[in-house]
Structure 1
Amino acid sequence: MNTPLRRLATITLVMFVALMASATWVQFFQAESLNTDGRNVRTLYREHGNARGPIVAGGEAIAASVPVDDPFGYQRTYSHGELYSAVTGFYSIANGRSELEKYENDQLTGRSDQLFFTRIRDLLTGKRPEGAAVETTVLPAAQQAARDGLGDQNGAVVAIEPSTGRILAMVSTPGFDPNQLAVHSTSEAAAAYRALAEAPGNPLRSNATQERYAPGSTFKLVTAAAALESGSYTADSLVPSPTQLTLPQTSATIGNFGGSSCGGEEITLTEALRISCNTAFASLGLTLGEDALREQSERFGFFDPEQTVPMPVVESVFPTGLDPAMLAQSAIGQRDVQASPLQMAMVASAIANGGRLMTPYLVETVRAADLTVVSQTRPEVLSNAVSSGTASALTQMMVGVVESGTGRAARIDGVQVAGKTGTAQTVEGEPPHAWFTAFAPAEAPRVAVAVIVENGGNLGNEATGGAIAAPIARAVIQAVLGS
Structure 2
Amino acid sequence: MTPSFKKRVQCIQSAFLICAIAIAVGLVWTTLGNPESREAARQETLQRTYIRGTITDRDGTPLSWSTKANGYRSYIDGETKQRAFSTVVGYYSPAYGTFGLEKTFNSQLISSKCKSDGKQIGNTIQTTLDTNLQTATYSAISDIANGAAVVLDAKTGEIVSMASTPSFIQSDLEDNWSEYAQKTGLFLPNAYKSTFAPGSDFKIITACAVLDNGVGDTNVNDRGSYTFKNGQTITNYDSRSFGSIGLEGAIRNSSNVYFITKALEMGGDKLEASLRKFKLGEDIPLDFTTLSSNLDFEDKRDEVVGSIAFGQGKTEVTPLYMAMACQSIVNHGTMLKPYLIKSVTAGNGTKDDTYTDSPEELTTVTSKETADEVVSCMEVAADHYGFGYYGNQGWHVAAKTGTAQTGKSTNAWIVTALLDSNNDPQYVAVIMAADQHHDGIYYKNQLEDIFQATAKYDASKNSSDSSDE
TM over 0.5: yes
- CA spacing shift, 1:43–1:373, aligned 2, 3 Å: closer
Deviations along 1:13-43, one digit per CA (max 9) or x if unpaired, are xxxx99998898556543x522554xx6x95
Residue of structure 2 in register with 1:370 after alignment: 348
Q: State the 1:73 CA deviation.
A: 5.2
Residue of structure 1 in register with 2:91 after alignment: 90
Q: State the 1:126 CA deviation.
A: 8.6
Q: State the 1:402 CA deviation.
A: 0.5
Separation in structure 1 between the aligned mates of residue 388 and residue 298 of structure 2, nearest angstrom:
34
2:439 to 425, 448, 464: 464
Q: Secondary structure at the match of 2:219?
A: strand
1:350 to 308, 328, 332: 328
Residue of structure 2 in register with 1:141 after alignment: 132
Separation in structure 1 between the aligned mates of residue 290 and residue 452 of structure 2, nearest angstrom:
29
- CA spacing shift, 1:21–1:261, aligned 2, 3 Å: closer
State whether structure 2 residue 432 is matched by structure 1 residue 452. Answer: yes
State whether structure 2 residue 240 is matched by structure 1 residue 249. Answer: no
Residue of structure 2 in register with 1:64 after alignment: 65
1:205 to 188, 196, 199: 188
- CA spacing shift, 1:276–1:372, aligned 2, 3 Å: same
Residue of structure 2 in register with 1:225 after alignment: 208
Q: Secondary structure at the match of 2:352?
A: strand
Residue of structure 1 in register with 2:47 after alignment: 47
Separation in structure 2 between the aligned mates of residue 348 and residue 312 of structure 1, nearest angstrom:
19
Residue of structure 1 in register with 2:120 after alignment: 129
Aligned residues: 426
1:161 to 136, 153, 162: 153
Separation in structure 2 between the aligned mates of residue 289 and residue 214 of structure 1, nearest angstrom:
22
In 1, are the aligned partners of 2:46 and 2:110 still within 8 Å (CA)?
Answer: no
Q: How does 1:288-303 map to 2 (within 5 A)?
A: 288-303=266-281
- CA spacing shift, 1:272–1:73, aligned 2, 3 Å: closer
State whether structure 2 residue 458 is matched by structure 1 residue 478. Answer: no
In 2, are the aligned partners of 1:100 and 1:311 still within 8 Å (CA)?
Answer: no
Separation in structure 1 between the aligned mates of residue 36 and residue 386 of structure 2, nearest angstrom:
54
Residue of structure 1 in register with 2:9 after alignment: none
Q: How does 1:11-50 map to 2 (within 5 A)?
A: 25=29, 29-30=33-34, 32-37=35-40, 44=44, 46-50=46-50
State whether structure 2 residue 64 is matched by structure 1 residue 74. Answer: no
Separation in structure 2 between the aligned mates of residue 471 and residue 448 of structure 1, nearest angstrom:
16
Separation in structure 1 between the aligned mates of residue 300 and residue 227 of structure 2, nearest angstrom:
13
Residue of structure 1 in register with 2:178 after alignment: 194
The residue identity in structure 2 corresponding to 1:292 is K
The residue identity in structure 1 corresponding to 2:126 is E
- CA spacing shift, 1:36–1:175, aligned 2, 3 Å: farther
The residue identity in structure 2 corresponding to 1:473 is L
Could you tell me which runs of 5 or more consecutive residues in structure 1 were left unpaired when the two chains were aligned: 1-16
The residue identity in structure 2 corresponding to 1:161 is D
In 1, are the aligned partners of 2:196 and 2:318 still within 8 Å (CA)?
Answer: yes
Q: How large is the RMSD of aligned CA atoms in angstroms?
A: 2.7
Separation in structure 1 between the aligned mates of residue 210 and residue 434 of structure 2, nearest angstrom:
29
Could you tell me which runs of 5 or more consecutive residues in structure 2 were left unpaired when the two chains were aligned: 1-20, 458-469
The residue identity in structure 2 corresponding to 1:481 is A
Separation in structure 1 between the aligned mates of residue 85 and residue 429 of structure 2, nearest angstrom:
17
Residue of structure 2 in register with 1:6 after alignment: none
Q: How does 1:97-112 map to 2 (within 5 A)?
A: 97-110=98-111
Separation in structure 2 between the aligned mates of residue 390 and residue 87 of structure 1, nearest angstrom:
35
Q: Secondary structure at the match of 2:160?
A: strand
Separation in structure 2 between the aligned mates of residue 296 and residue 155 of structure 1, nearest angstrom:
29
In 2, are the aligned partners of 1:437 and 1:473 still within 8 Å (CA)?
Answer: no
Residue of structure 2 in register with 1:4 after alignment: none
Q: State the 1:194 CA deviation.
A: 3.4
Residue of structure 1 in register with 2:8 after alignment: none
Separation in structure 2 between the aligned mates of residue 250 and residue 86 of structure 1, nearest angstrom:
44
1:390 to 351, 362, 370: 370
Q: Secondary structure at the match of 1:97?
A: strand
Separation in structure 1 between the aligned mates of residue 304 and residue 363 of structure 2, nearest angstrom:
28
- CA spacing shift, 1:334–1:23, aligned 2, 3 Å: closer
Q: State the 1:178 CA deviation.
A: 2.4
